[in-house]
Amino acid sequence: MLDKLEDIEKRYSELEKLLSDPKVLDRREEWLSMSREIAALTPLVELFRRLKDISRELEEAEEMLKNSEEAEMSDYLRTEVDSLKLEQDKLESDLKEQLIPRDPYDEKSVFIEIRAGTGGDEAALFAADLLKMYTRYAEQSNYKAEIVESHPTDIGGFKEVILGVEGKGAYSRLKYESGVHRVQRIPTTESGGRIHTSAATVAVLPEVEDVEVEINPQDLRVDTFCATGPGGQSVNTTQSAVRITHLPTGVVVSCQDEKSQLQNKEKALRILRSRLLDKFITEQTAEQAQARKTMVGSGDRSERIRTYNYPQNRVTDHRINLTLHKLDLVLAGDLDEIIEELSANERAEKLKAAGE
């Protein structure tokens, strides 16, 4: 770790010199790039320099204690040594956490794709409940949420719905929601009072700019059609709905929620960029591809990351064995406790991996 920190401090010093060079000041893009780099390195370098100061002070205090002959001075030095060791340990821990690789998409807005899985109409109704949960969470977090695309059922559920959540850091909070969500409850259509189990899948994709994922217009096939309602009937007479097919990958996105064909096309392209990025990442990283397959799976009720049990007012996240008896609050958007636990678990796993 120390060698890496020494290299970072060396780079930081180089950047300080370069940024004061008048020649670099004239090259705006280069200057901005180096300014962003030094800003990102500053917290880490400040911690490292503080650690070096503390280590030096600790070494001096221990040397003085070794040579001290006065009881009162020795007691003072022992207290000082203990205090410095505590700060040293804290700084080393903070530095290790700072060195954990950050997810480059953490600051992005997201698309949350919710699809009904096993369970028929009840699964579609559960998909609607998840949509409300994420919408309320977004509102409480001061994010902007809007339905980007939806395929409702005639009883108020959704076969599929895509929620756009706009706000800095939305992906860092919501990325843990990807996977199969299982619900256990008595359906309104169940006259015998039996508990049914159904499921819905959630996929959280970071929204990316067109400069991050370049799409060649020649690779796209754009089809237009009339928007349809819950029962499949046409809801207007103009071909405002848009379906875009990315020919090289076969990825298909359709949007029909807007009245304007242009607006639907713009939304479809936003979703397409995120899906292409997700496809690229999962294909490039075998471990991530396997993790996604494990998390999302087929939508079968046996594959799940979280269970929502209505009779017991219980929600259980199976990845970290966390159980909370406040399902009503969670469905009302109170997801912070679960997210914090998942985030802490991820940091612990990364710290463990960095130490191996």
**DSSP result, 279-344:** HHHHHH-HHHHHHHHHHHTTS-TTS-SEEEETTTTEEEETTTTEEES-HHHHHTT--HHHHHHHHH
Rounded Cα–Cα distance for residues 148 and 131 (Å): 12
The per-residue pLDDT for range 207-247, each reduced to its tens digit, is 877 656 778 888 889 888 777 665 555 445 567 788 889 98
The per-residue pLDDT for range 42-90, each reduced to its tens digit, is 988 999 999 999 999 999 999 998 888 888 888 899 999 999 999 999 9
In the chain the domains, ranked by start, together with CATH numbers, are 2-98 (no CATH), 110-347 (3.30.70.1660)
Q: DSSP class of residue 218?
A: G
- Spell out a b/e string for 159-173, using b for 16 or more CB atoms within 10 Å of the CB, else e: ebbbbbbebeebbbb
pLDDT at position 55 is 93
Q: What's the mean pLDDT in 100-121?
A: 89
354 band by pLDDT with thresholds 50, 70 and 90: low
Rounded Cα–Cα distance for residues 57 and 53 (Å): 6
The per-residue pLDDT for range 257-279, each reduced to its tens digit, is 777 888 888 888 888 888 888 87
188 band by pLDDT with thresholds 50, 70 and 90: confident
For 15, phi then psi, to 5°, come to -65, -40
